[in-house]
Structure 1
Amino acid sequence: MFKRTSYIVIFLLLLIQLISSLPRSSSSDSVDSILNEITTITPSAGENALPSGHNSFEEAIRKDLINYVNFELQQTNQIAKDVLADPSVYSIDSEVMQKELSLLRKFVTDSKEALNRVLPAEQLGSNTFFLFVIDKKIALKGFNRLRFFEFKQHIPEKQLIWDALKKHGWLEYHEEVNKKSDEYSLYMVDKFEKYVKTLSAAEKEKDKDMKDMMAAWNAYTKHERGMDKTAFGQRLFQINWKL
């Protein structure tokens, strides 16, 4: 079952595709080396200050995006573990089934590692934030491939996996993800409403992004057609993540 694709999913998939297309090397500039440094950064004096242009609104929506992705990882990790603990998935002993079970075990390991990654507060406003989120979403690809099991005629092994996924909460998980996606859009609006009250007239015009957000805000507060709270939240998401 698919609902409309959320802006969050579109954004993260685009970023994953971008990173996947980059050359992978063993140099210190590679994505892997940057991500490996995330949990070992020790800021020196003055580095805890947020980067120029960073604000409470941006910080709040970035933190909540991390919470959203962590929710996906937590839920899918548990579903995968429940499927692996279900005796029914071992009723077929074949090479295909062993491969599927092996991929599920790998996902349990990868998703746990991704969940354990913590982004230092001083990195929240940097480009490392995007790599951090991408790293978590890449781990989810190991589970999201299973969504296609719902729409295809399957060999017995894959049908068995699909039945176990449904039994252990797959459908309920996707309903909750869609709900949280909508909640995230509304959360952005609530945070922006508080943030905009702190801005001077000059700050509201400081750059193109701010001007675009204020234009959308004015349309929302004037109840212009097609700009309800959800639509405004989606527009804020587009502007902040450059969609």
Structure 2
Amino acid sequence: MFKSISYLAFSLLLLIQLSSSSPRKSTSESEEDNTITHGTSTQVPTVGESAISEGRKRLEAFAFKGYINYLNYGLQRTNQIAKEVLADPSMYSIDSQAMENVRDILIKYVKDSDEALNDVLPTGKSERDNRFFLGMGKDYVLEQFNRTSTSYVPIEKLTPEQRVTWDTLKKHGVLEYAEEKERRSKNFVLNIVDEFEKYMKALPAAENEKKKEFSEVWDM
């Protein structure tokens, strides 16, 4: 039911791969940088190289900000749904181990999602890696909400506990949440595409071959 989150994560990984593959120094230039030189002169990036680097950073920052906002929305909404479901008397209408297990899953989800919502970008040497792990951590917690969803199970095959749980989830807005999540995911992906196209158009004319490679991968 909520698998599109994983597709968003994949889209971000593709975006990072594409943007991190943007024009860099050639092998010969890199080798020159590693040689021992005498004097104090340093190689200053050209205007074009600086523009590409800044454009890539803006693109990555835009993508991750949108992704984290999307995940935080999901965590906030499902956290509230889980709390409301736990407070609903119907969740205590069946005295069984299976029903208790469902409640335990929801209780744990409330705790984990509270913690995930409070997670912020850590400081460190690699900002890109930190942003990646922050997003994946939030995504992992949000995926746990799937364990309470039985919408993919034919109604006639639901156990009494599953039927009560699913009816209670629907009562507290899980279907409306799924629709809103889908709308936000589409907008998020479209915004990334728009920003990526702006980034591509801003590449120097000398990088036309790289633009072609990016476009071929993006259109796959």
TM-score (ref. length: structure 1) = 0.62
Matches of 1:198 and 1:110, distance apart in 2: 42
User: Deviation above 4 Å: which 4+ runs of structure 1?
Assistant: 120-125
Q: CA deviation at 1:13?
A: 7.7
Match of 1:44 in 2: none
Contact 2:102 2:148 in 1 (8 A): no
Q: Percent identity?
A: 44
Matches of 1:123 and 1:75, distance apart in 2: 33
Tell me which amino acid in the other structure corresponds to 2:118: N
Contact 1:204 1:214 in 2 (8 A): no
1:185–1:141 distance in 2 versus 1, CA, 3 Å: closer
Matches of 2:144 and 2:67, distance apart in 1: 20
Matches of 2:71 and 2:125, distance apart in 1: 17
Unaligned runs of 5+ in 1: 16-51, 217-234, 239-243
- The structure where helix makes up a greater share of residues is 2
Match of 2:161 in 1: 157
Contact 1:73 1:140 in 2 (8 A): yes
Flag the structure with larger Rg: 2
Tell me which amino acid in the other structure corresponds to 1:212: E
Matches of 1:117 and 1:175, distance apart in 2: 26
Contact 1:62 1:124 in 2 (8 A): no
Unaligned runs of 5+ in 2: 13-52
Tell me which amino acid in the other structure corresponds to 1:10: Y
1:2-81 aligned within 5 A: 6=4, 8-10=5-7, 12=9, 54-81=56-83
Of the three residues 102, 105, 130, the one matched with 1:103 is: 105
Tell me, yes or no, if structure 1 residue 202 matches structure 2 residue 206. yes
Match of 1:18 in 2: none
Of residues 106-115 and 84-93 in structure 1, the stretch that sits farther from structure 2 once superposed is 84-93
1:119-198 aligned within 5 A: 119-120=121-122, 125-152=127-154, 153-198=157-202
CA RMSD of aligned residues (A): 3.1
1:88–1:121 distance in 2 versus 1, CA, 3 Å: same
Match of 1:33 in 2: none
Matches of 2:212 and 2:127, distance apart in 1: 20
Contact 2:8 2:189 in 1 (8 A): no
Which string of whole-angstrom CA distances, capped at 9 and with x for unpartnered residues, describes residues 114-150 of structure 1? Answer: 1110115877842222221111121123211223354
1:127–1:202 distance in 2 versus 1, CA, 3 Å: farther
Q: CA deviation at 1:9?
A: 2.1
Contact 1:149 1:158 in 2 (8 A): no
Where 2:149 maps in the other structure, the secondary structure is helix
Q: Which has the higher contact order (CA 8 A, sep 6+)?
A: 2
Matches of 1:84 and 1:198, distance apart in 2: 51
Matches of 1:138 and 1:179, distance apart in 2: 21
